[in-house]
Amino acid sequence: MVAMKRPDLVCPAGSLRSLQAAVDAGADAVYIGLKDATNARNFAGLNFDVTQAKQGVQYARDRGRQVLMALNTYAQADNPQCWFDAVDRAADIGVHAVILADPALMAYARQHHPALRLHLSVQASATNYEAINFYRERYGIERAVLPRVLTLSQVAHLIRRTDVEIEVFGFGSLCVMVEGRCALSSYVTGQSPNTAGVCSPPSAVRWDQGGDKVDARLGGVLIDRFAPDESRGYPTLCKGRFEVNGQVDYAIESPTSLNTLSILPDLIKAGVSAIKVEGRQRSAAYVEQVTRTWRQAIDACMAQPDRYAVTPAWTATLGRLSEGQQHTLGALSRPWQ
């Protein structure tokens, strides 16, 4: 029997405090982004300047952990230097790897920083082993993050046919599209997530109070209307409520989170190299609680894989932190097939 390999637990950090919380709670690696359009979570008040990034890398390194830098948007033809400079900064800061989607950045990194480890971002939308092997042969990527559209059997099939490490999402908000291919927000805002860095640019978001209701608009389009007692998540077009055939409901996707704790042994047996938690836009408290829960689960699974079971405490914690307070296995489980 082949021994199972412990996967890395890769956790998000939108601030230095979140990075420290993730490391202290047991993350093997933490991924961060810079305060500009080079990363796909380009929100005001989030992300790292160079000084903070250096502090975070040192904090993680002192504790035997890694920091990955997401430079996962696509360079713009009118100012590609911003993205090239970001690769240079990542190398100078000493991150363990950069997470890239744009082949031009991969080529630049390989030429100018050959010792810098390259990870293929989920924004590259590589869903088969042929694409991943191409990126390995052409640019030398060492890990690929899979979009959340593959079944468990498809993930295992892919892993058997590539030498590239495979990272999968284990917990966090779901995307209705294949990551890197969504055009919904650009339809109403004129800004692509692959270039602006966010699927709902803050400049296009507006909240309007009308009586006891609050309207959420994106690019002037009404995408939700909240009652006084309803929680209000950040508005995205795919998770808005619309009137369809006289009924108002979530027409495209309901707010929910991916939660793969129940199939953790299957993911490990399939050979995934890393399990990723989504949520750089979330609080340090969220990061700490999710990281601690997943650290316990992975350790329990590795210690006694045949006796592994999801505990009520893990379920309760992740249930509170799930988007819409509900979770799913998403595409990983398709019982109707």
For residue 133, tell me if it sits in a domain: yes
Tell me how many domains the chain contains: 2
- Structure confidence by residue, pLDDT tens digits, 64-74: 999 999 999 99
For residue 185, tell me if it sits in a domain: no
- Check whether residue 156 and residue 289 sit in a common domain: yes
- Which of these three, 214, 234, 250, is where a domain ends? 250
For residue 156, tell me if it sits in a domain: yes
For residue 179, tell me if it sits in a domain: no
- Structure confidence by residue, pLDDT tens digits, 272-322: 999 999 999 999 999 999 999 999 999 999 999 999 999 999 999 999 998
Of 88-97, 190-199, 300-309, the poorest mean pLDDT is in 190-199
At 1 the pLDDT is: 41
- Which of these three, 250, 265, 280, is where a domain ends? 250
- Check whether residue 233 and residue 275 sit in a common domain: no
Strand segments, DSSP code E, in the chain are: 8-12, 29-32, 66-71, 97-100, 117-120, 143-145, 165-173, 205-210, 213-218, 221-226, 241-244, 247-250, 257-259, 274-277, 327-328
- Check whether residue 263 and residue 246 sit in a common domain: no
Tokens of 316: 């309760």
CATH number reported for the structural domain that contains residue 318 in this entry: 3.20.20.70
How far is CA 185 from its chain centroid?
Answer: 18
Is 272 in a helix, a strand, or coil?
Answer: coil
- Check whether residue 169 and residue 275 sit in a common domain: yes
- Structure confidence by residue, pLDDT tens digits, 163-182: 999 999 999 887 776 777 77
- Check whether residue 149 and residue 265 sit in a common domain: yes
CA 313/CA 301 separation, integer angstroms: 16
- Check whether residue 91 and residue 154 sit in a common domain: yes
- Check whether residue 106 and residue 242 sit in a common domain: no
- Check whether residue 33 and residue 161 sit in a common domain: yes
- Check whether residue 13 and residue 58 sit in a common domain: yes
Packing angle, helices 284-303 and 16-25, rounded to 10: 20
At 325 the pLDDT is: 66
What is the residue range of 28's domain? 8-174+256-332
For residue 186, tell me if it sits in a domain: no
- Structure confidence by residue, pLDDT tens digits, 228-266: 888 777 788 888 888 888 888 888 777 778 899 999 999
- Check whether residue 138 and residue 47 sit in a common domain: yes
DSSP H or E stretch at residue 267 = helix 264-270
- Check whether residue 163 and residue 56 sit in a common domain: yes
- Structure confidence by residue, pLDDT tens digits, 197-229: 677 888 889 999 888 889 999 988 898 988 888
- Whether 82 has a pLDDT exceeding 80, the answer reads yes
Predicted structure pTM score: 0.91
Give me the percent of the chain exceeding a pLDDT of 70.
96
CA 141/CA 119 separation, integer angstroms: 6
At 197 the pLDDT is: 65
- Check whether residue 279 and residue 140 sit in a common domain: yes
Q: Give the pLDDT mean for 26-33.
A: 98
Of residues 54, 15, 53, 1, the one with CA closest to residue 283: 15
